[in-house]
Amino acid sequence: MDFRHTMKGRRALSAVAITTGLLLTVAGCGGGDGGTSDKGAPSSSAPAKSSGGGKQASQQPDSGTVLAEVKGENGLTLTVTSAKRDGGGFVTVEGSVTNNTDSIWVAANWRGDERELSKNGASIAGASLIDQKGKKKYLILRDTSGRCLCTQFTGGVQQGATAQWFAQFPAPPEGTTDVDFQVGSMPPAPIQIFQG
């Protein structure tokens, strides 16, 4: 009975994550006005306001901002450029990985050790967010088939190349903004979560 409730909870969480992702995708596809804008129209990048305590929520930094960069694994460089809390109860983390090794990199140990993640191939499925203060670890979200809501590095990353990635996690509590992003044997990357 406990296993059945766990599976129902996972299915429900996956369904919410997929639905939210689809809604964000549809919302992101609209509004292409060819580069012209109406100065009177509200901007989609206006700062979000928090209803708690009259404080203004943190704004997402401009694109191109580096939240964290760590080096490891024989010349790999992991860069985190965005960590955004979305209204659907999840956090989307984005960045890039640069392969400075002497061969193609296939992200084999970034997939994670869980049996359910074995279907994810060369991906960032083993990533996690670690809340040191709250003493909690947030694993990557998955759909009902066990596929991660994250980037798969199909074909690997060529020597000297850089690949973009994203990963989605359950959101820590509203007051939690400082977490560590961890994947594979890379050092932890301290990042700050911003309101989306």
CA distance 105 to 156: 5
- Domain 68-195 classified CATH 3.30.70? no
E strand or H helix at 69, and its extent? strand 68-72
pLDDT at 48: 37
Taken as a whole, the chain contains a residue count of 196
CA distance 118 to 107: 13
Residues in CB range of 154: below 8 A, 6 or more apart: 121, 122
CA distance 17 to 21: 6
Residues in CB range of 72: below 8 A, 6 or more apart: 78, 185, 186, 187
Per-residue pLDDT of the chain (196 residues; tens, 9 = 90+): 454 545 555 565 555 556 555 444 544 544 444 444 444 433 333 333 333 333 333 454 455 689 999 998 788 999 999 999 998 899 999 999 999 998 998 887 887 777 776 667 788 888 999 999 999 999 999 888 888 899 888 888 999 999 999 999 999 998 899 999 999 889 999 999 998 7
CA distance 107 to 129: 18
What's the whole-model pTM score? Answer: 0.66
> How far is the CA of 117 from the CAs of 20, 28, 152, 182, 188, in angstroms?
21, 28, 12, 16, 21
Residues of the chain by 3-state class (helix, strand, coil), percent to 5: 20, 30, 50
